[in-house]
Copies of this chain bind each other. A is one copy, B any other.
């Protein structure tokens, strides 16, 4: 039987070498962020990393918590590819922001939809695609412009990674993942685009315990599964479903 469960977060990230390219699910708060995998990587200490994520960590949009900003604080990152890399509060710049402005970390900024589509392309074997987004803006710099039906578009290339850290609600032992509400964000596409995908989940169940119609990430995309063991204390009501019927 296939069983992808790894007991500890330490084990799950142990083989990540210096210089690895890592995708990290993340968007506007701790929901759908692989919190413990990030912390384990901070302890593990691999350096010279390239991080692909929506933010560069610590943007302070909502809850203040330890997302991948800790990797910047530890100076483990050499490059970040993101759409929302800067703190929303000028008075509290993030570690990433300071390192980017000091030239210590390289930033590639992308429109969010282009970032998502590049990751999807990486998983889908599409080496490159055209998108209208970004023409005549800073995003166009260095990119090929081409017209389709008279509309200018930019050529964008696929993104792939060595590792993807994804956060899901439940996993079965074969690696099938289901999410909860807006947890999905970048997680399902990142799971397809990395050589090794590691999923942090609330609960591991047996194959057959997940509704096959509701599986979002097929198990073939997941290499390692780690179950969360403690409650980080974020507002969350796992006992309550988001499925509400009409009154």
- Could you list which residues of chain A lie within 8 angstroms of chain B, going by C-beta atoms? 117, 121, 124-132, 148-149, 151, 153, 157, 178-180, 206-209, 211-214, 242-246
Do the beta carbons of B129 and A126 come within 8 Å of each other? yes
Q: Oligomeric state, in number of copies?
A: 2
Question: How far is the CB of A152 from the nearest CB of chain B, in Å?
Answer: 10
Residue in B207, B213, B214 whose CB lies within 8 Å of A246: B207
Q: How far is B32's CA from A8's CA once the two chains are assembled, in angstroms? A: 43
Question: How far is the CB of A84 from the nearest CB of chain B, in Å?
Answer: 21
- What 4 new A-B contacts, CB under 8 Å, besides A127-B149, A127-B151, A148-B157? A117-B124, A206-B245, A208-B244, A208-B246
Q: How far is B151's CA from A153's CA once the two chains are assembled, in angstroms? A: 23
Do the beta carbons of B148 and A128 come within 8 Å of each other? yes
Do the beta carbons of A213 and B245 come within 8 Å of each other? no
Do the beta carbons of A179 and B242 come within 8 Å of each other? no
Residue in B117, B128, B153, B207 whose CB lies within 8 Å of A130: B128
Q: How far is B246's CA from A127's CA once the two chains are assembled, in angstroms? A: 39
Residues of the B chain whose Cβ atoms lie less than 8 Å from the Cβ of A246: 206-208
The winner among A130, A151, A180 for most chain B CB atoms within 10 A is A130
Question: How far is the CB of A14 from the nearest CB of chain B, in Å?
Answer: 29
Question: How far is the CB of A218 from the nearest CB of chain B, in Å?
Answer: 13
